[in-house]
Amino acid sequence: MRLSGVVTALITPFDGDRVDVDALAELVRTQIASGISGLVACGTTGEPATMDADERDLVMSTVVKVAAGKVPVLAGTGTNCTRTTIEETRRAGSLGVDGALVVTPYYNRPQQEGMIEHYRRVAEDGGLPLLLYNVPGRTGVNLLPGTVECLAGIRGIMGIKEASGSVAVVRDIVAFAPEGFMVFSGDDGLSLASFALGASGVISVASNVIPRQMVALWNAFHAGRLSEAAEIDRSLSPLYSALFVEASPAPVKAAAAILGICRDDVRLPLMKASRGTRELLESALATAGLR
């Protein structure tokens, strides 16, 4: 699988305590119509940790059905247990998902050697191509560039979503990445800088609510219209920040509610975004030309 450009880490719309399938389907249709290059179901932004297996299956199967092959669909299948991650990856594959986004094992904080073996076994036995996912701010463990270099040579590992917050890490991985190994920014606010360093694109939270603008940013950069790309990036900068002033995905769901995309319901232990955050979002959406 080859991916480039803007891939949306989808929110999971809820209506009270149930998955809002209709809102999810409409979100997927809007994303595809806006020109995004791929979708991630049940990634961190989709709140899979607070859904049961049947709900995760419902989300993945809905996204696959509505996408209908128009764009690739990845699913978040990573856990802090290698055996369980293999099982979750196989389950996603049985639902028609094209690839797996596999976060580093959280909480138990494995050694770098342990992560190499973890990913090797998931790549061998999970049945789907893998995109590594490094987000140490959430997991408590950092997948180091040298470890990524080792993993990049393993059959079935197609790239990485790098969300450590460092463009230097993106630069270092791109420098040694073999041909075909994809490096995606996992931070919207660092996406343009990452593009300039050779990243394949961005796996975006912001594109849930501003898909056309994020696609325009990528297209302008990719076409060499650097001043235009910088101007778009500046207009989106307040929103990048506002989406993470509280634990994600509460702010992006609040922004989605402001725009009429879906309700702002999240599941405990997360809470809905505060009034102050909503005010920041209103202002940021206006700056982005959406209010």
Each residue's pLDDT tens digit, 117-128: 999 999 999 999
Q: Within a domain: residue 74?
A: yes
Q: Within a domain: residue 212?
A: yes
C-alpha torsion angle, residues 42, 46, 52, 55 (rounded to 10): -80
Per-residue pLDDT at 1 exceeds 90: no
Angle formed by the axes of helices 226-242 and 275-287, nearest 10°: 170
What SS3 class is residue 250?
helix
* CATH number of the domain encompassing residue 54: 3.20.20.70
Per-residue pLDDT at 175 exceeds 90: yes
pLDDT digit string, tens, across residues 182-232? 999 999 999 999 999 999 999 999 999 999 999 999 999 999 999 999 999
Active site residue 107: no
Per-residue pLDDT at 247 exceeds 80: yes
Q: Within a domain: residue 245?
A: no
Active site residue 161: yes
Q: Within a domain: residue 252?
A: no
Q: Within a domain: residue 270?
A: no
Annotated catalytic residue, options 119, 161, 240, 253? 161
Q: Token pair of 229, please?
A: 């790309």
Q: Within a domain: residue 241?
A: no
Q: Within a domain: residue 220?
A: yes
pLDDT digit string, tens, across residues 226-245? 999 999 999 999 999 999 99
Mean pLDDT value of segment 1-23: 96
Tell me how far apart the terminal alpha carbons of the chain are, to the nearest angstrom.
37
Host domain of residue 111: 5-234
* Number of structural domains the chain divides into: 1
Annotated catalytic residue, options 70, 106, 107, 133? 133
Q: Within a domain: residue 276?
A: no
pLDDT digit string, tens, across residues 64-98? 999 999 999 999 999 999 999 999 999 999 999 99
In sequence order, which residues have a C-beta less than 8 Å from that of residue 212 and are 6 or more positions away?
Answer: 34, 35
DSSP assignment of 89-133: HHHHHHTT--EEEEEPPPSS---HHHHHHHHHHHHHHSSS-EEEE
